[in-house]
Structures are given as C-alpha cells and as structure tokens.
C-alpha cells in the first residue's frame, strides 16, 4: 500500500463521517480514527517476509481537514427593514408556500395579511401545519425557498405593519 492509497483512504474516511476504520493486510495494519475536531491515523507496517527483520514503523499522518458543512445562508436584512416584522417558524419542518402543488401560494410579496391569515404550511412528521400571521400588514419579502427545511424560530417572511 503506497502513500497515495493511504491518503485517498484518509480522505474517504473523513468524508464518510465514520469515527474509526481499521484495515489489515499481510504487510500493513492501518487504523484511522476521526474525532470531532481532528483526525488521527496510525499505520503499522510489518516487514516483508523476504526482507531481513526490521523494527516495525509507526507513522502518524497529518490530520486531514474535514469538509465543513455549509452554514445555512441567512439572508441579510436590508437596512430599511428596521420597521419590518418577521413571521418566524414555530417548528422544525419543511416549508411550503402552497397548500398543494396545483394551488396558488398562500401569500406573495405585496400581499396584504391580517391576523389569523394562513401564510404557509410546515410539514413535520407527515403532518401539515398551517402557519398563521400574528400581525397585519403587507408581505415585503419571502425569506425561505419553497419546499426547503426550516428551523425553529427561523424568519420566514418580512411584513410591513404600516
């Protein structure tokens, strides 16, 4: 097993998310352990039988930088949004702007909403929960794409209450 194969194996293990992988062949014993912040690789190579006995070598490879998951993009609110009110997600789930694929959106930019109007649905555990507006005003911006996951308390809409 050459160094290129070992490096490729380290990258593969880092990307897979496995916490520990062991590989043992006739002449190489390889253990790759990954932690939350660093990876550790221990390679023990035994001597080839046709060669004279040489003490076993232990090589510690440099930690492989694990790919960091992309942070969810939080749109920057415009400076003039100080007087806008956010409608936030009350739960974790999948955000939908329509009651069904063949129906129109509940609200669009420029739509007037009143307290109690349904603005979207969030699917959580196969249940579709209608999200109602808690304020009256005009929808200024939709902050989430249709059919995308949302987190608890994530802003969904900007509303101008005036």
142 pLDDT higher than 80: yes
75 pLDDT higher than 50: no
How does strand 57-60 pair with strand 20-24? unpaired
Supply the mean pLDDT for the chain: 78
Looking at the chain, which residues constitute the CATH 2.40.50.100 domain(s)?
A: 82-160
What per-residue confidence (pLDDT) applies to 87?
95
Domain covering 82-160, topology: OB fold (Dihydrolipoamide Acetyltransferase, E2P) (2.40.50)
| pLDDT tier for residue 23 given thresholds of 50, 70 and 90 | confident
Contact 112, 138 (CB under 8 A): yes
- Where is pLDDT greater, at 56 or 25? 25
Contact 120, 59 (CB under 8 A): no
Distance in angstroms (rounded) separating the CA atoms of residues 132 and 15: 41
78 pLDDT higher than 60: no
| pLDDT tier for residue 79 given thresholds of 50, 70 and 90 | very low
């Amino acid at each position: 097993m050459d160094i290129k194969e070992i490096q490729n194996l380290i990258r593969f293990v880092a990307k897979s998310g496995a916490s520990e992988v062991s590989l043992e062949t006739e002449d190489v014993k390889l253990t790759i352990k990954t932690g939350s912040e660093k990876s550790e690789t221990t390679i023990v190579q035994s001597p080839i039988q046709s060669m004279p006995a040489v003490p076993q070598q232990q090589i510690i490879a440099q930690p492989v930088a694990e790919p960091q998951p992309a942070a969810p993009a939080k749109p920057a609110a415009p400076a003039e949004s100080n007087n806008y009110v956010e409608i936030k997600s009350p739960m974790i789930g999948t955000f939908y702007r329509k009651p069904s694929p063949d129906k129109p959106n509940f609200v669009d930019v420029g739509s007037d909403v009143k307290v109690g109007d349904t603005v979207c649905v969030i699917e959580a555990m196969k249940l579709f929960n209608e999200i109602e507006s808690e304020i009256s005003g005009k929808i200024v911006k939709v902050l989430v794409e249709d059919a995308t996951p949302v987190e608890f308390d994530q802003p969904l809409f900007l509303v101008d209450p005036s």
